[in-house]
Amino acid sequence: MISELGFLSPEVDESEAELMTTYCELFDLSERMSKLFVQLLIDADLDHASPRNMAMNALAAKSLELFQSSVILLRKGCIPAARVLCRALIETIYKLCAIELVSDGIDRYISQEKKTRLQKLKSIQKYKQRYAKSGIPPCIEAEINALSREKPGKTEPHEWASFAQMDDFHNVYYQGMSDDTHGNIESLNHYFDENSAHLMSFGPSDKGLPVVAAACHRALINAIEKYASFQRVNVDTDLAVFSKENDELESKHCSG
């Protein structure tokens, strides 16, 4: 069935059970980290009048969702897809940490949103000019003019990483996950296995699973630390345990 349906095959459940057993310690760590983060979210106080408060809480929720989605894919043996989500996770956590650490972090975040919206509106404007009967609202020009006058700035990913004090993530994990995001040649190596009976290797795999899991764990540890700081909650003891276990598991599964 896997040869016919790939990851949609019911046989994938058997592979998931095997991976869950082989990497039980990694997935147990994922669950315990998730449990702590969920509790922080449950205890959150929302201040609808504060853009910083709303952004921090939403970015925290988004970080946890991306983390857990990555774990689900890892359990299924969908490693390349997990890499794509891991990069999105890291980039989201850059912003969460930067907003907590840098005084103008929220201003940069809002300015980047305006810059992105301006670019989107200009693309729509070009479409409207090309297809006059497209039915696009005429108010677009007014919003483009208003945003253009503000001259919103853009903060690049490596800058967010620096503000978040996560330059090491950007130079190692973020760059490593980018190949799968963009479909670069390096990402194609996953689908070839000289030891396989088939030329193409497609289906559940644990190739690179520990590396992606460790990256996701490290990223979430940063997110939990900064989000807890934002909430004025001390989780240092928990994070020390998580970090030590992740280091040990990465050494155990990634050595050689």
Q: Which two tokens stand for residue 87?
A: 């990069």
Q: Is 193 helix (H, G, I), strand (E, B) or coil?
A: coil
Give the pLDDT of the chain (256 residues) as one tens digit per residue. Answer: 456 777 888 888 888 999 999 999 999 999 999 999 999 999 999 999 999 999 999 999 999 999 999 999 999 999 999 999 999 999 999 999 999 999 999 999 999 999 999 999 888 888 777 777 766 677 788 888 999 999 999 999 999 999 999 998 888 888 888 888 888 888 888 877 666 665 566 788 898 999 999 999 999 999 999 999 999 999 999 999 999 999 999 988 876 5
Cβ neighbours, 10 Å, residue 72: 15
pLDDT of residue 1: 47
* Distance, CA of 23 to CA of 37 (rounded, Å): 22
What are the residue boundaries of the structural domains of the chain, listed by start? 14-107+156-254
pTM score of the predicted model: 0.90
Q: Is 50 helix (H, G, I), strand (E, B) or coil?
A: coil
Q: Which two tokens stand for residue 217?
A: 């764990």
Q: Is 213 helix (H, G, I), strand (E, B) or coil?
A: helix
